[in-house]
Structure 1
């Protein structure tokens, strides 16, 4: 199994979950409903970390904290580093900081524009009756929904077309390989994404800290020690270790690397909802629990930079 396809069943309950998604990006639940799930799961600390948006933070926090769950403001930013698309979790940021919001919104707009171009090209090249207007009506014009939902929209519209008969909805690897990779008919050049080093600066300027999400998805095991040393040089605060994208062996290896390089090892289920990630059906479930989940939060908070007054 490739690193990108690796995932571990989440069955270990925990009290801290710093990686959750709502309908403001590619999750299935509203921020309020997500927060209620966190309360029901017995979480003590949680973070709604939608992709490339801070718009769900306030609703999530209001409901979570009313139910006794501490809400950490954050988001998950799409970045580039070492030729990879990576995801960078930002924690303890000030959601009202105008500079950060503008930059986060720019990343999301680039992704939305990419999907608009993809749908318009898909309809034009194949003759299948789809375009961005149809996708925007179904999923929202300023939201980047779950990738599989977009592809299922196309495949559903292509029902009866012999060219696409062999691609079942819900299973997209073959369709992407045959139609969407570079050189294929539906390939659209990937959107702009900021460099990891730039995002570290953005987040620090908003009083927050950065954590590299699920690194074993992107890097081979023998590459990780070198990358960890480079993360320290970039000013990254931590690395996600206890997550549904890592198996127990990877978790142990990453934890050891964090301790060696004095990076904060963090924890998050990457819950998107039961439909989208059935192997992570509830918030607060991971394959292996951190030894002291609350210590993660304390260490992240202690690493926050001092932001000058008026830096809005």
Structure 2
């Protein structure tokens, strides 16, 4: 629970219906304002479709909207997710790469639905449309449809039985290599941050990523223990990186978190802005 002395905070990692979240930008901003946050970043997977709408709505909620994006990669068969803050989200170069990734997500969903059919579960792409509200399809949307159709009782059960890594209907997704993601974010004026390192468990690669252009670690994450938060804050300091934080909220019933769940202090955003400004003064290429 937020202390009386910490009346504000930030959440720099939430997802909307533009990717695999279950809430609209308007709903997310309302949640953030109700929690007493000062700023929020909607960091959809491979999609910047919610940024313009959220930016226009944020002032009415007395919120600062930080443009964001989350991109996935692999490092030696382990997942590595990168958060991009303040990048030029209208760049044609960015949209070309994101379009390719979204098409790969669609093909992944088709494969998941085929695997579900092999388990006696009949779902269609058309049924997913109202849940995604025109955004990219992700596993939480499939999980929500499984609940609505009565195949499972909860989103968590859907992941455990069908959709999580190792389950019968899990499908790997196409990704870009880390070097390409880091270069893309930096070239477009953004700040690349490694998301939830305590979940990805790729600590042995963080120094290498820092040398390749990584600028920060998401030390404050809903799934990190106090010990992990301390570890990544120390590691960031040693490597000259900033720290960020967020709830990684996808929707009610998904992963048991909420907007603003892990009390990320305001100074995290100030350091992020400082790093953005410092990078802007450095030539690229």
Alignment of 1:170-185 (within 5 A): 170=155, 171-172=157-158, 174-176=160-162, 181=166
Maintained 8 Å contact 1:122/1:131: no
Compare 249-258 and 130-139 and name the one that shifted more: 130-139
Maintained 8 Å contact 1:15/1:293: no
The structure 2 residue matched to 1:298, chosen from 270, 273, 281, is: 273
TM-score (norm 1): 0.78
Residues 69 and 107 (structure 1 numbering): CA distance in 2 closer, same or farther, change over 3 Å? same
* Residue equivalent to 1:112: 106
The structure 2 residue matched to 1:213, chosen from 195, 205, 221, is: 195
Give the distance between the partners of 2:270 and 2:55, measured in 1 at CA: 21
Residues 131 and 217 (structure 1 numbering): CA distance in 2 closer, same or farther, change over 3 Å? same
- Where does structure 1 lack aligned partners over 5 or more consecutive residues? 1-9, 160-166
The structure 1 residue matched to 2:136, chosen from 130, 143, 159, is: 143
The structure 2 residue matched to 1:238, chosen from 202, 207, 216, is: 216
Deviation sequence 1:87-117 (CA, Å, 0-9, x none): 1101001121111122122212211211112
Give the distance between the partners of 1:181 and 1:273, measured in 2 at CA: 23
- Where does structure 2 lack aligned partners over 5 or more consecutive residues? none
* Residue equivalent to 1:4: none
The structure 2 residue matched to 1:17, chosen from 7, 11, 14, is: 11
Give the distance between the partners of 1:140 and 1:68, measured in 2 at CA: 26
Indicate whether 1:74 and 2:56 are aligned.
no
Task: Indicate the SS of the match to 2:23.
Answer: coil
Structure 1 runs of 4+ off > 6 angstroms?
A: none
What is the Cα deviation at residue 235 of structure 1? 0.4
Give the distance between the partners of 2:247 and 2:37, measured in 1 at CA: 12
Give the distance between the partners of 2:41 and 2:104, measured in 1 at CA: 24
Aligned residues: 279
Maintained 8 Å contact 1:206/1:307: no
* Residue equivalent to 1:249: 227
Residues 249 and 120 (structure 1 numbering): CA distance in 2 closer, same or farther, change over 3 Å? same
Give the distance between the partners of 1:307 and 1:97, measured in 2 at CA: 20
Deviation sequence 1:39-94 (CA, Å, 0-9, x none): 33332222111111000001111111343322111111122223212211010011
Residues 35 and 169 (structure 1 numbering): CA distance in 2 closer, same or farther, change over 3 Å? closer
Indicate whether 1:99 and 2:81 are aligned.
no
The structure 2 residue matched to 1:192, chosen from 159, 174, 180, is: 174
The structure 2 residue matched to 1:286, chosen from 255, 262, 271, is: 262
* Residue equivalent to 2:184: 202
Deviation sequence 1:251-281 (CA, Å, 0-9, x none): 0011000000111111212223333243x32
What is the Cα deviation at residue 141 of structure 1? 6.4
Task: Report which of the two structures shows the higher radius of gyration computed on alpha carbons.
Answer: 1
TM-score (norm 2): 0.84
Give the distance between the partners of 1:197 and 1:134, measured in 2 at CA: 37
Give the distance between the partners of 2:237 and 2:218, measured in 1 at CA: 13
* Residue equivalent to 1:162: none
What is the Cα deviation at residue 201 of structure 1? 1.1
Give the distance between the partners of 2:154 and 2:253, measured in 1 at CA: 14
Maintained 8 Å contact 1:129/1:157: no
Give the distance between the partners of 1:103 and 1:217, measured in 2 at CA: 26
How big is the alpha-carbon RMSD for the aligned residues of Structure 1 and Structure 2? Answer: 2.9
Task: Indicate the SS of the match to 1:275.
Answer: coil
Give the distance between the partners of 1:11 and 1:156, measured in 2 at CA: 34
Maintained 8 Å contact 2:58/2:65: yes
